[in-house]
Amino acid sequence: MDKKMNFPMSHVFGFLLSLLLTFVAAAVALKTTLSFQVVMWIIGTLAIIQAGLQLYMFMHVTEGEDAKVNLINIVYAVFCAIVIVAGTIWVMSFGLHNH
């Protein structure tokens, strides 16, 4: 049976949660007396939570015929992102050697 809604309440709820996470990150960055490293960890954690929220609410990761394929695609995308970020940091940190 197809469940049909006229107004996408889950999308509105996801949007409001994303806005809340963004405003919390901005408040932590602008109005806190914590150290720089702690602020970066908090903002990074909020960013990961927001990415998961958006995958769940807007990208419909849990929907579809084959959830295993969706999981494999997400794991592969995370792996690619880690390789790109780690490689960029490595090159920028140790790329100043003379040849």
Answer yes or no: is pLDDT of 98 > 80.
Answer: no
- What is this structure's pTM? 0.67
List pLDDT tens digits, range 19-74.
999 999 999 999 888 899 999 999 999 999 998 888 888 877 767 777 778 888 88
Question: 13 and 58: one domain?
Answer: yes
Question: 16 and 41: one domain?
Answer: yes
Let me know: does 39 contact 29? Beta carbons within 8 Å: yes
Q: Is 61 helix (H, G, I), strand (E, B) or coil?
A: coil
Answer yes or no: is pLDDT of 18 > 90.
Answer: yes
Neighbouring CB atoms inside 10 A of 7's CB total 7
Angstrom distance (rounded) from CA 4 to CA 1: 9
The domain tally of the chain equals 2
Which residue range forms the structural domain that includes residue 52?
A: 7-63
Angstrom distance (rounded) from CA 51 to CA 66: 21
pLDDT given for residue 97 in this prediction: 66
